[in-house]
Structure 1
């Protein structure tokens, strides 16, 4: 068994263990309304109510994985057999489909407990079950094309679940349906706050990296300040923005009319741009300073002037790392933008903090799941963009530096 097979085998064994543990914890819960106490449901409860079909369906992903492990170890089949490589890629979508399918059968089995406002929630065992399906794809050397297969299965699964009415009683689905207009508005606010903050950081950070690269004194002054800003807790920095901005808006009514106030999206954007500035400036500076000196000497030997050197050598070689810094800033800001609610701003943090205040776990989960989904999509889009803009001769080197697999 080569290194790749051993790595995949370890992750498959870990997935089987997590699958097993997931049946120890409650798989779901039922509540009479959005804030009522929950009644946990274990796999045994589902078996007694819905019959063996639901639990047997849950056993399908771990059984397939165990079968693949045994056949791979037996040596009777080639370790490169297509179906043995496809099984780990199918597990995420299959786990999601089977887990949600079991949840969809709960309302009919517990109809006497669920009235007009009753809803079904997801238990800790449910999350472990989904995690177990994802684990085999987390190895350093996942099956070739596995990520794309998993994405396709996941999209098909999502469409099937969305178009069916099987999950209408799920708590987060009911919250999303009841607050659809508001939800769309806050998704737009969250993206707007994030893009505004990262945009400001890029406009300041990339030129700042060029200046810092050229002048050592500026570099020695800028980076310590940014290091200090990174140590300030985000909530504290958000709060520190309120007083000076409120005073500034009172002193200059024109700024107030333009939206510059002590509360709202403005203090959140300013604070988030401060946090995003560090990765943008740091990565941009690194991209410029770590260009191989031999390449620069060769370019000068070819007769390039300073402008040509920057436009044809330094920037093309540095753009992938600069974009990676923007990627880090974007992912960081998408998460931190949740705190904009604390200073009167919008975004999906509205659902998170209102859900905490109302003891509604469904609202909290709705906000958090959407933040995670937006973050994953943004990360993948920027990853694809970086690969497209990276010269082919440098793609393997860049992947090694950033820890990505091509």
Structure 2
């Protein structure tokens, strides 16, 4: 009996060690025996890995190799997928009215368990939702074998749960095989990966966890995906470029296309009035960086009650869902369309009095004085003022 108790205790200890080693395993770069374990973005960034390197060395190869769908391994981990390639909107007269191209989505086991549990609770960090995107409409793929559809996939959008990175809890990414990774260099295009990206302008309306995922779409579950009207116009057309819609969303003005004024000239009347100031050469003045896509992300919730209670979440810089004039194929929303440059993505806010104040050196001087006078409130002042 004594030996039996020892063996039982030893067995329980072994099980506990195995469970803990898998549960608390750090999200470090991939080990050779675990090719599907991506590092969490915040963990990678904290180790000095840049966004560009995270994309090029980890995330994009993971997608191109389709690790999430590797035979045997994905099933062992518990990944599940959609029943079929499906549309995200109608297709009429050769034009797609979907919010994405045709899609086929894969769900990590954490997401699947959350859905099976009735969307109760919080999806844990490390969970992933991978959306494969293909040229519309989905009728193109109805009679193709799975491996034939697999070979067609050339672009993805991805959600990686990483609650330390942003208030919404997700790292968002878009990747197309023919698009180079962003090098964060001039002319500073809108990044395809990051926290608080333009994806949330639609996903923020989801009931919970910023995802519209449904068991109705998943293979082996009851129910049917939502169906949209699709006419026959696609049968004779040339296969469209499925990356077009996402390229339009992230497109910025071509460098040099903005109207360039004359060189700045000092205002003589201003200098006469404020004669205590010495004239400073323009080249020696510190410039405020370009504000085309100023981006401030509401920080992650953290784990302590203190970090959660001190959040000052006032607004978002993702206004394009309603205010952009490039919302193809639907056209402008909530604005009067006219010829000229499209200032709408961030323009309505930037050209308001509050937006202009954020570019005003006097505003920054005022902030510095308040921080000097109220050092104990410096974090609150910065958070409150710069959220607007």
How does the TM-score come out when normalised to structure 2? 0.24
- Relative to its length, the structure with more strand (as a share) is 2
Return the structure number with greater relative CO, CA threshold 8 A, min gap 6.
1
- Relative to its length, the structure with more helix (as a share) is 1
